Structure 1
Amino acid sequence: MARRPHGGARICHCTRDTFSTRRRFPSAPTRYKTDEPQGEHVFTDPAQPNPSRQAACDANGRAGCAENEADPVFQEEQRHLSEVYAALCGMKRAIVAKIEKLDSDVAADKEMLADELTGNFASMGEAFETYAEFASANKSIDLYNAAQELNFQNLQKVSLLLHQPYFAKVVLQFKPGDAPKELYIGNAGISDENYRRLVVDWRSPVAETYYNQENGPTSYVANGRTIKADLKLRRQFDIEADRLNAYFDTTVAIQDAMLLASLSQERTSRMKDITATIQKEQNEVIRHQDCDVLLVNGIAGSGKTSVLMQRIAYLFYRQRETLRPEEVYLITPNPVFSRYIAQVLPDLGERNPETMTFNQFMAHIMPPERSRGRSDVDLSALERIDEAVRGLRFEPDDFKDIVCDGTQLISAGQIRQAADKFKRIPAGPHLVTLMREELHKRLNSRLRQMAASERAQNEATSLSIQEQVRIFHETIAPQTDAELRECALTYLNDRYAAAFDIVERDEWLRIDRIGMRLLRAEGLLPVEWAYLKMAVTGMGDASVKYVMIDEVQDYTCAQLMVLRRYFRRAHFLLLGDENQAIKAHTASFSEVRSLFEKTGLHVEECRLMTSYRSSPQITRLFSHLMPEEDRIRVSSVQHMREEPRIASFSDAASYEGALRETVERAKEHAGLTAVIANDRAALKRIAKMLGDAAPAVIDDDATLPARGVVLMTLEFAKGLEFDHVVIPDAREEVFGDDRVAKNRLYTSISRATGRITILAPGPITPLLQHEDRPA
C-alpha cells in the first residue's frame, strides 16, 4: 500500500465529515425480488389451488395427473414440498419485514444524529469531543450494517431456494435397528425457527452419500471423523417452486434420470450449475481434499469447467469464515468464455471470484506498452533470470526520475543516493523493500517542502468549491500559516497521489535495461519482463489463496511459472485436456506436474473420462484422434443422435453451395450452431464467401446468443458447446497429420453436442479419411 500522510488538516478548518464519509447507512427500502424471469415472486399458499400446477395438468393430460394422484409416494412428496415451500415463504416475509424495520430505524437515527452532531472544532477540547461523538456514531452504523448484511444474506438464500427448494432426498440408517433419517438436499442449507433442518446444503459432508450414487453401505467424513451409514433410498426430484413434476428412485449412476433429462435440454447462452446431476468421478474432484496442486485431465465434454465452478462453490462453503471471493483467481481462456460462466456461482448464491484471461492478468501487472507480445518463451530463459539476479548489483542507469503531473518529484540521482545507503545489501526484493520505504520518506519530505511555498498555498486556496469539497470534504478558510501549510499539503497529496503508486509499484526501476544487461539481449518478451520484475522486486500477491486455471493445456511452462511465482502462496487447480492443446510449444501434463513439483508443491491428479456433452457418434468421431491407450476408456452417456456429415468437394461452386445450404438450414433448427474457422484468416475468407448470409462473428466483445448461427475461430470456441458445429474447411492443408492439427480437429469436433457437419473444398484431411462421406 502506498504510504500517504493524511494531511493533518483537522484543526485548521480543513476538516472532513467523518460521520458521513467513513460509514454508509443501509440504503432505503426496495422491493425484494427472487430474480425470476417473471419478476417479483408470488407467495403461493400451498393449501390453495395452484394455477401453474393446474396448467401443467391440462398440458400433460388428465391421465398423467390422475396417475400422480394415485401414487401415494408422489402425494406424500408433494405434501412435504408444500410444507417446506410454505415455511420458506414465511421466512422471506419475516426477513423482508426485518429489513424494512431496520431501514425505518436507520432513517429515524439519521435525523437524530444530524441534530446532535454539530461538528464543533472551535477548540482542541471540543474537537476531541466531536471525534468521540463521530466514533460512537460510526460504531452504531457498523452494527446496523452488520445486521442488514446478515438479513440480505438470509434473503438471498431463501430466494434461491424458492426457485427450487431441493432436488434430492436420501434416507440413511446410521445404526441397525435405528429409525432411518430422511434428508432433503438443495442448493443451500436452511433450518426453521426450531432449528429443524429443512434442507441440507449439497456441499455438506452428509450430502456426499447422495453423490456416491450407490445404495447400501456408504460413509462420509465430518469434522475429521468417518461416519458410516446404510443408504436405503436415493431419490431425485424435478421441482419448480412448489410444484413437484416427477421423482426418480435410482440405485446406481447409470440410472441417473435427472442427468439424462438435463443433458437432453437445449443449450442456452450461459452455463448452468450441475449441482443436481454431479456424477461420481466429478464429485471426487469437487470434494477433493485440499492440496497444493490438483491437476485434472478430462476428455472433451467431461464437465471440467462445471466441476471447476462447483469446486469454487464448495471451497467457499467449507471455508465460509476465512475465504473471500477476492482471494480466489479464475484464469479463463477468453472473454467470451468468462461471460459464458459468469452466472454459475451467483445462481448458487455465491459471488464470483476475480476472473480474467492470461492476457488481462499480464496487462494488470505490467505497463500497457509491455503486456503484449510472444508468449513462447522457453523455461530455460526464466531459469537464467533466476541465476543472473543472484549476483545482481544496481548500476546508476538502472533508475529513472519519479515524475507526476509534469513535475519531477524525485530524480534518478536521488534514487541512486538511496541505493548507496544500502550498498552492502545485494539487489533483490529485500533491497527494493528498503528503498521503497526510503523513497516514501523522501516523497513525503518533498511534498512538505512544496507545501511551504506560496505557489502551492495559492493553488490550494484558489480551488473551485467543487474541488475543495472533493479534496477536503468541505470548503476551506485557513486562518494561520500552519493551517495554510496543512491545507496545501492535503492538496499536494491529492495532486501527486500517483507518485506514491509509482514508488509502490517500483516504476522507478528500469526493468528493461536491467534485463538486457543481465541476459545480454536486445529486448525482453512480456513473460521475461514480468518474471524479472518478480525476481528483482518481489512483485506478487501473497493474499490470494486459490488460483484456478481452465484449459491449462494451452499454457507454456513459462506462463505457468509466472503465475506460480506471482501467486506464491496460492493452491492451484489446473484443468485441461491434453488432446485440446491447440498451440505449439505448450506444456504437456507431465511437464506441468514437474514444474510445480520443482517449486516445492505437491501435485495430485484426477482423470475424467466420460463425455456428458456429445452424442455417442460425435464422441466416437473425436476419440479416434486420441492416443489409443486413452481411446478405449472413453464413453458417452448421451442418447444416439444423427450420424456426422462429412463431405469433400472437387469444385469450388459445389463447396460454396453446400456451405451456404448448411448455414441456411442451421438457421431453421432450434438451438445454437457454430461455424468454427481454424484461424482468423479462414474466418475472414468464410465471411466474405457467404456475404450477406454470413453469421454474426463472435469475438472479444461478443456474447453468445441462445440460438441461431454464429461464426468464430477455434480459439474463441474453446470451452464452449453448441447443438450443431460446422467445420467449414477440413482439407489436409488445414489439418495435417501432426499432433497439433489432430488436437485442433479434436477440439473443433468436440464442441458439438448433437450434430456435426464437416466440409472440405478438396480432399478431406487424412485424419478423417476412415470417416469420409462422398459429397
Structure 2
Amino acid sequence: MVDPVFEEEQQHLSEAYAKLQEIERTLAAQLERSLAEALADKENMLDDLAMDFGNGVNLETYVEFEAMHQVIDAYNQTNDIREVELKKAQLLQHRPYFAKVTLQFKPGQPPRDVYIGAVGMTDEKQRHFIIDWRSPVAEVYYNQENGHTSYEANGRTIEVDLKLRRQFDIERDTLNSYFDTTVAIQDPLLLKSLRRERGGKLKDITTTIQREQNTVIRHEDVPALLVAGIAGSGKTSVLLQRIAYLFYRQRDNLKPSDVYLMTPNEVFARYIDNVLPDMGESNPVTLTWDAFVGKLGLGDRGLGKDSSGALLRAIDERIAAGIAFDNRDFADIRIDDERVITAGQVRGVVQRFAKRIPAGPRLAALVEEELEEKIYQRARRLAADEEVQEMVLELDTDETYRIFGGPIHPETEKDFRDLALQYLEDRYQAALEAVRDGRWLRIDRIGMRLLGKETLSSAEYLYLKMALTGAGNRHARYVMVDEVQDYTPAQLMVLARYFKNAHFLLLGDPNQAIKPGTASFDDIRAVFAALRGGVSECQLNTSYRSSPEITALFASLMDPDARMEANSVQREGTAPVVAAYDDAAAYEQALRQAVAGAVADGGLCAVVAANRDQVKALAPLLEDAGAQIVGKGSALPASGVVLLDLPLAKGLEFDQVIVADAQASLYGDDAISRHRLYTAISRATQKVTVLACGRLTPLL
C-alpha cells in the first residue's frame, strides 16, 4: 500500500539532495575560476614589480607590493568562505538531514516545516532549507515536547506550537523510513542506531541525542560544569557534541586552539579523533595528563599523581602568610655561554620591589618588566660594539634572510648600529622568554625550603611556580576533562589554576574510580568551588551501551541509591555468564571456549585483565585465538579479539567482554575492587562472560 507521507518526504529529500549537488558544482566551479584569476593577477603584478625593481626600489614599489598582498588576501578570504560551504555541501550529501519539526509560530498562521541536519545550508536565495542541529530552533526537537514549547534566540524566548516531531533514516538521497515520535525512551531511530554494528571508532550521536544529554550539550556557559553519568550513558559523546555546539554558537571568535580536551590515554584519543571532523568541525587540542606535563618540560619529575591537595593548599597558605626570598633563590638568565642577566641583578630588582609588594604574581610581573628592560638596554649598548657588528656581517645567507628578510648593505654607522640591534633583539628573544617563563627564580630551592621536601613532583613544582609568578595559559577558553574521577585533587588544582581563564566541563563516573587516591566527586566540587566560585551539575542515568542484563549486573555494584536510577534503553539480550573453576585446566578450557564463541559471533571482543602482569599471564592462553595485545600506542581493530588491561579498557566499548581473572585475590570486597569490576563489566554492549581461576570475587 502506498504511504503518501513517505512519498512526500522522499520527494522533498530528492529535491534537497539535488540542491546540495548543485551547490557543490557551483562552489567547485567558483573556486576553480577564482584560483585561475588569482594566479593570473599575481603573475601580472609580479611582472610589474619586476620592472619596478629593475628601475630601482622606491616608495611606489612598496605601495604596489602591499597592493599585491591585499589582492591575494581578498582572494584567500573569499575562497576560504567558499571552501567551508563546499565541505558542508559534501558532508550533507551523506545524509542531508535526520529530522523535521513542524512549528506554528502564531495562531492562525500556517505551520512551517524545519529540516534539521548535521550542519546548516542555504539555497541561492539565502533561505535555510537545512537547519544546523545546534541552532536555537533545533532545541525544540531535542526537548521532545509536542504541543506548546519555546526556545531561546538572541536573548528572546520564542513561543511555538510543536505540531510534529519526525525522524528520518536516510542514506544519501534514499529515505529508508521515518518515525513520528514524542519521547526518547520510545525513540525508534535511537534503537536502530544502537543496534548497528560498532566499529573501532566512536560515532557522533547528533541524530539521537536524548533529553538528558541535550541538557548538558546546550547548558548555559558556566565556570565549571560537573557531569556524573553511569557507564554507557554517552558521556564522551556528549562532551564532543558540547564542543561542536560551542564552536557553532561562538563561531566568530572560538578557535580549536582555544579548547583543550584532557583524555585518559592515547588509545582513547585515537578512538574519538574522527567524531568532530565527521560533524564538520576541527579537533581541539587533545592531551593526556602525561603529555601535558611533558610539554611543560616536567616529565622527568614524575607525573605528580601522588601529590596531595593538602600540600598544594599549604603552598597558597604559606605564600599568603608572606615568604622572604633567600639570596640563593635567584638564577642567571643565560644564552649559551653568555650571562645576559646575573642572579645578582635579579636579586637587586626583587629586593627593591619586595619592600612594598609581597611574593606573588604582582611582584613577579614588576620584576619581569624590569628584567626585560635590562635586556633591551644591554642590546642597545652592545649594538655599538664593533665585534657585534662584525658578527652581523659574518652571518650566513640563511640566517641573514631569517633575521633581516633579505640581504643587508650597511653604509653608515647608524646602519651598522641598527642592524646589530636587530640581530641582538633576535638573539635575546630566548632570554626574554626565559624571563617571562619565571626562570629567574629557582623554584626547586624555594619549594624545598617551603615544603620541607628534597624534590618536587611535577604537580608541586608547577603549582608553586604558578603561585609565585602567575604562570599559566591565559588564552584557553574551555577545558574538557573526560574520566575526571581518575584525577587526583592535586592534578585538578593544577589544571584549574594553569588554565586560569577557562571554563571547565568535567565528566566522569564515581563508580569507575579504579585507583586509590583519586578525587571523589566531593573533592572535585571543593576544588572548583574554590577556584571557579561554584559548580553546576548534571546527571546521566540511562545506559545506551549495554543490554538490560549487563546493566543490571554492573548496577548491582553501585551504591543502592544510585542503583535505583540506572536504566537501559537496549532490548533484552543474553544473560551474563559467571563461573569459577578450582582446576586450572578446566579454567583454561572455559576461557578458550569463551573466546572461540566470541570469534564465531563476530564483532569486537575484549579480554579484560586486571593489570599488565595478568595480560602477560593470559597472552599464551590466547595465542591460538589470534588475540591482539593492545598497548598504550595501539589502535583498536574493528573486529576480532583484543587482550588489554583494565586501565586501557576504560572509556572504550566492545560487543563482548570476557573478564578473565575475576578471582577473589584480584577483586576483593572493597570499594576499589567494586569500581574495577563495575568498569570491566560495563565495557560490553551485548554479552559478558566473567571467569575466575580459583575462588570467585565476593562482589558477585
State the TM-score, normalized to the length of structure 1: 0.86
Paired position in structure 1 for 2:332: 401
Q: Structure 1's 687 and 498: CA in aligned 2 closer, same or farther, altered over 3 A?
A: farther
Paired position in structure 2 for 1:559: 491
Deviations 1:646-689 (A, max 9, x none): 22111222222332333344334321111212122222222245
1:577 counterpart = 2:509: yes
Whole-angstrom distance in 1 between the partners of 2:499 and 2:398 = 41
Paired position in structure 1 for 2:45: 113
Deviations 1:229-284 (A, max 9, x none): 22222111111111111112223223211101100011111111101101111111
Deviations 1:74-119 (A, max 9, x none): 1111111111111111111111122112211211121122123359
The two structures, once aligned, show a CA RMSD in angstroms of 2.3
The answer to whether the Cα contact below 8 Å between 1:326 and 1:544 also exists between their aligned partners in 2 is yes
The answer to whether the Cα contact below 8 Å between 1:294 and 1:574 also exists between their aligned partners in 2 is yes
1:382 corresponds, among 304, 309, 312, to 312
1:149 counterpart = 2:149: no
Deviations 1:698-747 (A, max 9, x none): 22221111111112221111111111111110011111111111001001
Paired position in structure 1 for 2:92: 161
State the TM-score, normalized to the length of structure 2: 0.95
Paired position in structure 2 for 1:31: none
Paired position in structure 1 for 2:519: 587
Paired position in structure 2 for 1:621: 553
Whole-angstrom distance in 2 between the partners of 1:727 and 1:363 = 33
Shift of 1:692: 6.4
Paired position in structure 2 for 1:525: 457
Paired position in structure 1 for 2:104: 173
| Equivalent runs, 1:115-134 vs 2, <5 Å | 115-117=47-49, 128-134=59-65
Q: Structure 1's 209 and 188: CA in aligned 2 closer, same or farther, altered over 3 A?
A: same
| Equivalent runs, 1:318-333 vs 2, <5 Å | 318-333=249-264
Q: Structure 1's 646 and 119: CA in aligned 2 closer, same or farther, altered over 3 A?
A: farther
Shift of 1:121: 9.4
Paired position in structure 2 for 1:505: 437
Code of the residue aligned with 1:648 in structure 2: it is: A
The answer to whether the Cα contact below 8 Å between 1:215 and 1:252 also exists between their aligned partners in 2 is no
Code of the residue aligned with 2:504 in structure 1: it is: F
1:255 corresponds, among 165, 186, 203, to 186
Deviations 1:324-378 (A, max 9, x none): 22222111111111111111111111111121112222223343433x2441322
SS in 1 for 2:100: strand
Q: Structure 1's 705 and 165: CA in aligned 2 closer, same or farther, altered over 3 A?
A: same
Whole-angstrom distance in 2 between the partners of 1:756 and 1:101 = 58
2:300 corresponds, among 340, 361, 369, to 369
Shift of 1:137: 2.9
Whole-angstrom distance in 1 between the partners of 2:592 and 2:429 = 58
Deviations 1:296-339 (A, max 9, x none): 11100011111111111111111222322222211111111111
Shift of 1:478: 3.8
Whole-angstrom distance in 2 between the partners of 1:461 and 1:700 = 51
Paired position in structure 1 for 2:472: 540
Code of the residue aligned with 1:365 in structure 2: it is: L
SS in 2 for 1:435: helix
Whole-angstrom distance in 1 between the partners of 2:211 and 2:632 = 35
The answer to whether the Cα contact below 8 Å between 1:119 and 1:130 also exists between their aligned partners in 2 is no
| Equivalent runs, 1:299-314 vs 2, <5 Å | 299-314=230-245
Q: How many residues align?
A: 698
Code of the residue aligned with 1:387 in structure 2: it is: E
1:438 counterpart = 2:370: yes
Code of the residue aligned with 1:195 in structure 2: it is: Q
Deviations 1:131-159 (A, max 9, x none): 44333333323322221211111112111
Whole-angstrom distance in 1 between the partners of 2:623 and 2:23 = 57
Shift of 1:120: 7.8
The answer to whether the Cα contact below 8 Å between 2:484 and 2:508 also exists between their aligned partners in 1 is yes
Whole-angstrom distance in 1 between the partners of 2:126 and 2:77 = 22
1:186 counterpart = 2:126: no
Q: Which moved more, 1:240-249 or 1:210-219?
A: 210-219
2:580 corresponds, among 645, 648, 655, to 648
Deviations 1:2-60 (A, max 9, x none): xxxxxxxxxxxxxxxxxxxxxxxxxxxxxxxxxxxxxxxxxxxxxxxxxxxxxxxxxxx
2:177 corresponds, among 222, 225, 246, to 246
Whole-angstrom distance in 2 between the partners of 1:365 and 1:128 = 46
The answer to whether the Cα contact below 8 Å between 1:164 and 1:239 also exists between their aligned partners in 2 is yes
Paired position in structure 2 for 1:697: 629
Paired position in structure 2 for 1:679: 611
Paired position in structure 1 for 2:160: 229
Shift of 1:494: 4.5
Q: Structure 1's 374 and 191: CA in aligned 2 closer, same or farther, altered over 3 A?
A: closer
Deviations 1:193-222 (A, max 9, x none): 223321111111221221122432322222
SS in 2 for 1:163: coil
Whole-angstrom distance in 2 between the partners of 1:761 and 1:686 = 12
SS in 2 for 1:599: helix
The answer to whether the Cα contact below 8 Å between 1:451 and 1:492 also exists between their aligned partners in 2 is yes
The answer to whether the Cα contact below 8 Å between 2:606 and 2:657 also exists between their aligned partners in 1 is yes
Whole-angstrom distance in 2 between the partners of 1:230 and 1:76 = 23
Paired position in structure 1 for 2:281: 350
The answer to whether the Cα contact below 8 Å between 1:687 and 1:694 also exists between their aligned partners in 2 is no
Whole-angstrom distance in 2 between the partners of 1:122 and 1:540 = 51
Deviations 1:430-463 (A, max 9, x none): 1211222222222334345555555544444334
Paired position in structure 1 for 2:537: 605
Q: Which moved more, 1:227-236 or 1:129-138?
A: 129-138
Q: Structure 1's 130 and 516: CA in aligned 2 closer, same or farther, altered over 3 A?
A: farther
Whole-angstrom distance in 2 between the partners of 1:497 and 1:701 = 36
Structure 2 stretches of 5 or more lacking a match? none
Paired position in structure 2 for 1:195: 126
Q: Structure 1's 209 and 524: CA in aligned 2 closer, same or farther, altered over 3 A?
A: same
Q: Structure 1's 292 and 373: CA in aligned 2 closer, same or farther, altered over 3 A?
A: closer
1:270 corresponds, among 186, 189, 201, to 201
Whole-angstrom distance in 1 between the partners of 2:568 and 2:178 = 24
Shift of 1:632: 1.6
Deviations 1:600-657 (A, max 9, x none): 5232211111100001111011000001111122111112222212221112222223
Whole-angstrom distance in 2 between the partners of 1:260 and 1:198 = 27
Structure 1 stretches of 5 or more lacking a match? 1-66, 769-775
1:763 corresponds, among 674, 692, 695, to 695
Shift of 1:295: 1.2
Code of the residue aligned with 1:290 in structure 2: it is: D
